[in-house]
Structure 1
Amino acid sequence: MKRVSAFLGAAALMMSSALANDTSAVLTTGGLEFVNNAQVVMESEDLYISRDEIRVTYVFRNDSDEDQDLLVAFPMPDIVPDHFSPVAFPTGPADNLFEFKTMFNGEPVEATLHEYAYAAGVDRTKLLQKLNLPIVPISQEAIDAVDALDDETAAELLHLGMAMPDEFDAGEGWEKHHWPNWTYRATYTWEAHFPAGERVTVEHSYKPSVGGTVGVSFLAEPYEDWDPAAEYKQKYCTDDAFLNAVRNTLKNPDEPYSAPFFENWISYILTTGGNWAGGGIEKFRLVIDKGEPENLVSFCGEGVKKIGPTTFEMVKEDFWPREELNILILDRHDEEY
């Protein structure tokens, strides 16, 4: 696929085919499984993404001559705890961490939340339940509970990659603590009725999980087995125009971390959209809002145009989900622009 870049004002943009979608699903004895549906088409999707909110509106069309009653699923991006980085995790209540809201044909829908805990690629949800540990690893309840575990249980979690040790001296001698280290995975589901030959509208809104760093990391030279510039180019499609825009702000040209920005990362699950009839979206519209005019943004795609001081749009027809969407927003923090 051809990759196209555009340097628009204070933002550098590159995008590749990507979209965000509901999917159909079934509940099995092994948990939630996403499945294909050959009767219901995703006619359109209108997706808005910012650091503060994600909103999406779908129009589905049942092309069959029979009503379809489906379990619809909306998977959320994983939450991987990082207790030492400035990650803006969702702060909703324990039973709706993302403050997820759904409307079906204009009426509120009560979605069911399915939660899982993974460590080293293994589902450890039942172990957390056995130990009576909160499943959301970034919650203060989980942090306190893991730190209060007895030595034997803490050692078990360390062995399984579910806890991370932390030792420090705060002035009163060395202390040893443990932090939750499992990945939180969540999917919302609800039952939906798709009348034969008719269209229905589904709307979602929720608070995203926004990762980040203090300073800019991708201008650094490669070291050991990590090349930050190459990784960011692959993940966010950062091009020369974007990199030069950042370099031009360096307070010290010899200090790659001196650019006056904080990194913000947003991920959105896209590929589950291929589970609807036809495998794609007849009309797809994406709007990315970088927050402030002086901020920079980079993500992967094509055909992007600026539609406002902080917003950028991509519109596609017969759009096929191929990969997930990753967005890099550089939040400018100095007072001299």
Structure 2
Amino acid sequence: MIRQVGLGAAISLVLFASALANDTMAELKAGGLVFVRTSDVIMSQEELFLSMDEVRVDYVFTNKSDKNVETVVAFPMPDVEGSMGLNLALDDRESDNFLGFTVTQDGQAIKPTLDQHVLVAGVDRTDELRAAKVPLLPYSEKTYAALAALPDATKKDWISKGLFLEDIIDAGKGPQADYTPLWTLRSTYWWKTTFPAGKTVRVSHRYKPSVGGTVEISFVQDGKPNQYYKEYAARYCMDDAFLKTGIKLRNDQERTNVIYSERWLSYILKTGANWSNGAIGKFKLAVDKGRPENYVSFCGDGVKKTGPTTFVMEKTDFWPDKDLDLLFLVRETPGQDPQPKP
């Protein structure tokens, strides 16, 4: 169910994650590649595929000048922020490459450099963590163990700097210290590349998106829209038909024992406007909702259904001035816990 209007404005994922129930996982918003701005290289074509299982982006670049252009290409990973009570949708909490990012150029695999920084209140504390041999991922089990092993003087210093919190808990084995990292990890993969004079270059990358969600349909209650509906409608461009579908699925749940839950996928599209003229020559967006019995709503113009689970939008000279947010209503398998898992 898609309302065919202009790309909608994004609303902070934290707003939804904190406003809804405790059975909620917050998504992390990732996007495409970022290029050092150049007046010589244009994006001739971009094909973007979005699903709950995979993000695929295929670019065609053209160097319209008579000289080679060497530039830096980067993929900013979404910031990972340590905090209390915020559940993030991360499949791999132990790997720096927690989205499984891969990239190729003209069919050849590229091994990018990973640049990481730990920030607290805008202050870079990366060197301190590295010197103490504390892993940078705030949700890693290895990080928790390393914090617990720090000398008392270091713990006191880091707590005063806002790097982590210390709580005393009793889980049946007597009072024990529990540590919550509070820093933000900013990670970027980058590499240098050359766009040959007067030629095209194809760049493709893949990753598994961070898909948040909650165990029930949250924008309706007692057969009508609730306090969250306006925020949902603006973010996902929900039309009346999608609203009626949500109400029916929620009302039928007890009678049919068929459970639908929400999934949220966000994609940063605005970074695409970072080349000579800012417009993509040919742009194609494909969205796959996973299964025919699922539903999806997102903001787009001229979206067409192309298959049982797929929707496509195609544009010429497309200027990406807004990000994308997708809402999936997913039918759960009987006996399966519908709650999103980290």
Place the TM-score, normalised by the shorter chain, in its bin: 0.7 to 0.9
Q: Partner amino acid for 1:133?
A: V
Identity among equivalent pairs (%): 42
Alpha-carbon distance in 1 for matches of 2:235, 2:314: 21
Distance 1:290 1:118, change over 3 A: farther
Alpha-carbon distance in 1 for matches of 2:219, 2:184: 25
> Would you say the 8 A contact 2:219–2:232 is kept in 1?
yes
Q: Partner amino acid for 2:74?
A: A
Q: 1:86 offset after TM fit, Å?
A: 5.9
**1:240 corresponds to:** 240
Alpha-carbon distance in 2 for matches of 1:50, 1:166: 39
Residue 240 of structure 2 corresponds to residue 267 of structure 1: no
Q: Partner amino acid for 2:260?
A: F
**2:33 corresponds to:** 22
Residue 140 of structure 2 corresponds to residue 132 of structure 1: no
**1:312 corresponds to:** 311
Distance 1:216 1:103, change over 3 A: same
> Would you say the 8 A contact 1:235–1:326 is kept in 2?
yes
Q: Which moved more, 1:192-201 or 1:122-131?
A: 122-131
1:298-326 per-residue CA deviation (whole Å, 9 max, x = no partner) reads 22222111112222111111111212222
- Residue correspondence of structure 1 range 313-328 to structure 2 within 5 A: 313-328=312-327
Secondary structure of 2:220's aligned partner:
coil
Alpha-carbon distance in 2 for matches of 1:115, 1:301: 34
Alpha-carbon distance in 2 for matches of 1:44, 1:66: 21
Residue 206 of structure 2 corresponds to residue 205 of structure 1: yes
> Would you say the 8 A contact 1:87–1:212 is kept in 2?
no
**1:3 corresponds to:** none
Distance 1:162 1:104, change over 3 A: same
Q: What's the RMSD between the two structures over aligned residues?
A: 3.4
Length, aligned pairs only: 310
Q: 1:100 offset after TM fit, Å?
A: 1.6
Gaps of 5+ in 1: 1-6, 26-35, 222-226
> Would you say the 8 A contact 1:22–1:272 is kept in 2?
yes
**1:295 corresponds to:** 294
TM-score by length of 1: 0.78
Q: 1:117 offset after TM fit, Å?
A: 2.7
TM-score by length of 2: 0.77
- Residue correspondence of structure 1 range 166-205 to structure 2 within 5 A: 169-172=170-173, 175-205=176-206
- Residue correspondence of structure 1 range 1-337 to structure 2 within 5 A: 7=1, 16=7, 21-25=32-36, 36-81=37-82, 87-91=88-92, 94-149=95-150, 153-154=154-155, 157=158, 160-164=161-165, 169-172=170-173, 175-219=176-220, 228-251=228-251, 260-333=259-332, 335=334
Alpha-carbon distance in 1 for matches of 2:252, 2:168: 34
Q: Which moved more, 1:118-127 or 1:297-306?
A: 118-127
Alpha-carbon distance in 2 for matches of 1:165, 1:219: 39
1:255-297 per-residue CA deviation (whole Å, 9 max, x = no partner) reads xxx9933332222222221110101211111111122222222
Secondary structure of 2:201's aligned partner:
strand
Alpha-carbon distance in 2 for matches of 1:13, 1:240: 12
Gaps of 5+ in 2: 10-29, 336-342
Q: Partner amino acid for 1:261?
A: Y
Distance 1:295 1:253, change over 3 A: closer
Distance 1:156 1:87, change over 3 A: same
Secondary structure of 1:249's aligned partner:
helix
